[in-house]
A and B are shown apart, each in its own frame.
Chain A
């Protein structure tokens, strides 16, 4: 399949949900191997969390750990089905709707432990479910435009908000983050302290690189692909350095939607 195939909304959305489903399968499995966290002895227990807003009270049925395990299990099965047979439109539609609904239910139960990658999964699969549920070409196109717009917005807001923070502008943020057990690595932190110019360059490369991703929509296709490749490598690096494994699949999954929008803006014959 050449990149030009992504000019078709069906092909592009199929690729979006198949890449995204790999991440959904991994995160669902991660939850299931640590299912004690979902119960009263875990931090992801739903009992207190479901009282955080009045409108969530009807979802109290999600509190028991067995329910959370069942919902997560259904999410895993749906993700595996989409990865294995996402080219089959009936499988993709059913799988995507199940993933979207279970993702929202788990989010209602608790938002603890859910990072921005989980938010991107919610955005991607809810849009895909609405598009595939409606079943028209136009609805698929709206879903893809929405996913691409959210992805571009996410990079710009992430980059611009860092530009507004002194520790990022001064080139200290990466070193400070590396010094924490949560996100960092002792050897890397010491290395960055010894090479402050490198730390400064990494901070600015992160900020400017994030702000540059939406340019993929307006630059020539090879430049757009190179920009997305750089963004993709950035997520691999943060997975290796910070353990943010789920970001890789969640954000990679949006790239076919961005390429689809590129073709929509420039014409499929470009």
Chain B
């Protein structure tokens, strides 16, 4: 009896995976399966061909607004990464977050027919209340030093980075998303 139960459970899981692989049902599964228990095997089918770069600028206590600076999510690739690659997790995490934030903002811009940026408008609201947005904001907030009062972040897509090297302000790439300016958590939890 127990064996049949195991068989039925695994058969149901496999059937759901087959259904999940049908392109028209992909979004429906994505919306309902928060833990991604049903595998998506369409690996690199539509590969992102640009790097997503996280930039931030800060409002300091003395009123200074800093320049946009790249936030290094993880270090560069190393020769031994074929066997040991601890930085792939955070790199991939940021790629997922950036892709979702960017896609949400694009969808909203299309819905509201507004130009890129959309700060302080209804277009930014859906992205700002999303879990990925809050995750990036919390990450930046916790990394802020004591002189930072508020921070703003931008996600930029840059092609050919493996050839041209890391982000350079002179070649800023395509702006995918710009956040609002948010107050950050002061050290010790004070605001």
Contact = CB atoms under 8 A, between A and B. Distances in A.
A40 to B, nearest CB: 4
B163 to A, nearest CB: 5
Given A119-B39, A157-B21, A30 B13 contact: no
A33 interface: yes
Contact of A43 (B5, B14, B40, B97): B97
Contacts of A44: 89-90, 93
A52 B34 contact: yes
A120 B36 CA distance: 12
Contacts of A156: 41
Main secondary structure of the interface of A (DSSP, over half): helix
Contacts of B44: 158, 162, 173, 177
Q: Which of A29, A43, A119, A155 has the most CB of B within 10 A?
A: A43
A146 B10 contact: yes
Contact of B35 (A29, A56, A190): A56
Given A41-B143, A130-B10, A114 B36 contact: yes
B168 to A, nearest CB: 13
A87 interface: no
Interface in B140-191: 142-143, 159-163, 166
A113 B74 CA distance: 12
Nearest to B139: A43
Interface string A38-57: 01111111011101110110
Nearest to B89: A113
Contacts, number: 221
Residue among A26, A112, A181 with max Cβ neighbours from chain B (10 Å): A181
B35 A45 contact: no
Interface string A212-244: 000000000000000000000000100110011
A107 B36 contact: yes
B104 to A, nearest CB: 13
Q: Chain B's interface: helix, strand, loop or mixed, by majority?
A: helix
Given A48-B134, A177-B47, A180-B161, A43 B36 contact: no
Contacts of A39: 142
Nearest to B140: A41
Contact of A178 (B14, B135, B162): B162
Chain B interface bracket (under 10, 10 to 19, 20 to 34, 35 or more): 35 or more
B81 A52 contact: no
A136 B1 CA distance: 10
B114 interface: no
A111 B36 contact: yes
A50 B10 CA distance: 26
A179 B47 CA distance: 12
Contact of A185 (B35, B90, B162): B162
B177 to A, nearest CB: 16
A179 B163 contact: yes
Contact of B95 (A178, A182, A243): A182
Interface string A11-34: 000000000000000100111011
B103 interface: no
A37 interface: yes
Interface in B86-111: 86-97
Interface string B31-66: 000111101111111111111000000000000000
B49 A177 contact: yes
Contacts of A119: 36, 39-40
B21 A153 contact: yes
B90 A138 contact: no
Interface of A: 26, 29-31, 33-34, 37, 39-45, 47-49, 51-53, 55-56, 104, 107-108, 110-116, 119-120, 122-123, 127, 130-131, 133-134, 136, 138-139, 142-143, 145-146, 149-150, 153-158, 161-162, 164-165, 167-168, 173, 176-186, 189-190, 236, 239-240, 243-246
Q: 3 tightest A-B contacts by CB? A: A53-B34, A161-B45, A113-B89
Given A30-B89, A189-B163, 6 more contacts: A34-B86, A34-B90, A43-B73, A122-B39, A179-B163, A244-B88
14 contacts: A34-B89, A34-B90, A43-B93, A48-B135, A49-B131, A111-B34, A112-B97, A113-B88, A114-B89, A142-B7, A145-B10, A161-B42, A161-B43, A176-B47
